[in-house]
Structure 1
């Protein structure tokens, strides 16, 4: 009886950590689906991972990349706005093999909102053509976790 009580106590003590892990696991599934959709050129699947009316998509050039860009385009700014829809269209239409590799993925969440941060390498035809850090702001919706905003550095 004492052994059963001990196991019950240990199980109940661990229950909150299981509950906390569930949102992180769900978010990790979004991360995995994001990478798989890019590699498969599946723009439609990629588009389902974003909040439909979100517009925040910002690319910020690293200092050396910015200086290279200014040599070619003196009026260049160190950042550029875009949309997830433009990226989805590119993924769905490009004929070149593409892939985005993530490293050091960190997920922070309270179960309602989340932040995902990682280092990335974007490959075209097997060659790294961009690398940097990327962060997503995410929201739990009735349809699952959605990417609301994306900010990434560009170092090519």
Structure 2
């Protein structure tokens, strides 16, 4: 009986370790995306995206309604890679990371700065897919606001 309990504990520990390793790999992909933004490196940025990636924003309109804005990922890559004033510095905090086989979901509150000047905040939600080349971002949706920011 003791051997059975010990074996079960080992299996649980191995599963927990594997889950943590996957979470670290997912975080690395997302952190690489933000490093690319800070550096203005479109090649590095694109390396974190899967083919067919989708971008959306949940926007609050002045009349109080909400709409879904569809954004073009190629325009985003071009914007990041085109020389510009200031550093795009998005600072996130990793919240929940959920994994089911080759699919992962990440909730990440953020604050965005241009250089050191605060611009806006919100939440990024990432969907990632595990590929033969590692975790790739397949979908990003975010919210944006100027106040009531996460700490």
> Is residue 114 from structure 1 mapped to residue 104 from structure 2 by the alignment?
yes
Helix, strand or coil at the partner of 1:95: coil
Q: How many residues align?
A: 141
Mapped pair 1:89 → 2:91: no
Please identify which structure carries the higher strand content.
Answer: 2
Residue in 2 that maps onto 1:61: 59
Q: Does the C-alpha gap of structure 1 residues 104 and 21 become closer, same or farther in structure 2, counting only changes over 3 Å?
A: closer
Distance 1:98 1:108 in 2: 27
Aligned to 2:30: 31
Report the Cα offset of residue 78 of structure 1: 2.9
Equivalent in the alignment of 1:52: 51
Q: Secondary structure at the match of 2:81?
A: helix
Q: CA RMSD in A?
A: 2.4
- Output the TM-score relative to the length of structure 1: 0.79
- Give the Cα–Cα distance (whole angstroms) in 1 for the partners of residues 21 and 101 of structure 2: 9
Given that 1:98 and 1:126 are in contact with CA atoms closer than 8 Å, whether structure 2 keeps it comes out as: no
The answer to whether the aligner puts 1:143 opposite 2:133 as a matched pair is yes
Structure 1 pair 17–120 and aligned structure 2 pair: CA distance change class (3 A): same
Gaps of 5+ in 2: 147-151
Q: Which residues of structure 1 form unaligned runs of 5+? A: 71-75
The structure with more helix, counted as a fraction of residues: 1
* Matched-pair contact (CA < 8 Å) for 2:58–2:66: no
Q: Deviations over 1:77-124 (max 9, x none)?
A: 733111222111111112322200002432110231000111111111
Contact 2:103/2:128 (8 A) holds in 1:
yes
- 1:14/1:126 CA distance change after superposition, 3 Å: same
Contact 2:127 2:137 in 1 (8 A): yes
Distance in 2 (alpha carbons) for counterparts of 1:77 and 1:14: 44
How far apart are 1:137 and its partner, in Å?
Answer: 0.9
The Cα shift of 1:13 comes to 4.3
TM-score by length of 2: 0.81
Asked which structure has the greater CA Rg, the reply is 1
